[in-house]
Structure 1
Amino acid sequence: MTALHNPDAEDEPSAKRQATLPMLSQVESLTSAKVATAKDECPSTPVDPNISQFTDGAHAAAPAQYAAEERMRSLGLVAFCDALAFAGLREELLRYSAAGVTILAPTDDAFAQVPEEVRTDVRLVRSLLLGHLCTGTFTLEGLKDKECAVAIAGQTHAVYEEDSHTCVGTACFGRTDLAFEGGMIQELTSVMMVLWLVRDSHTEQVWKKSLQPSPVVSTVGGNSNTGNEYEVHGCLLHAATGSLIPDGLRGHTRSIKPLEGEQRLAFTEITVLTKPPSLAKRRGVDAEIGNNRYRLLFSVWNTATQSYVTWQHMATPLVVRNSFHMLPIEEKNYRRTQYARSRGRPMPLTAREEATAAGCSGDSGRSEDGEGTQHEQALNMPRLAFEPRPAKGGGEETDTAALLGPGMRSMVPQPPKANAQAAPPFQVHVPREG
Structure 2
Amino acid sequence: MDDQEAMVCYGCVDDDHLQQLIRSEGRSTGCFYCGKKRKAISIGRLSDLVAEVMYAFFESAPYGERGDELTFHVAEILGCGDSCAPLVGDVCGELVSCSQWQIMQGDEPRFDEFGLYSRLQFWPVETERKWRDFKSGIMHKSRFFNQSGKEFLEWLFGSIDSFRRGSTSDLNEDGVVRTIKADGNVELFRARECSLAEAQEIARNPDDQLGAPPKEKARAGRMNPEGVPVFYGAFERKTCVAELRPPVGGFVISGQFKLTRDLRVLDFKRLEDAYEHAPLSLFDPEYRLKMERRKFLTTFHGKIKNPVLPKHEHEYLTTQVIAEYLSTQHTPRIDGVIFESAQNSGGLNIVLFAHVVSMDSAGQVLRPPHDLNRPTRGIEYVPMTLVLHKIKAVEFDRDDHPYTGAPSHLFGEYYRSEDDWDW
Report if TM-score (shorter chain) is over 0.5: no
TM-score, length-normalised on structure 1?
A: 0.20
Query: Which is greater in Rg?
Result: 1
Q: Which has the higher contact order (CA 8 A, sep 6+)?
A: 2
Q: 1 or 2, which has the higher helix percentage?
A: 2
TM-score, length-normalised on structure 2?
A: 0.20
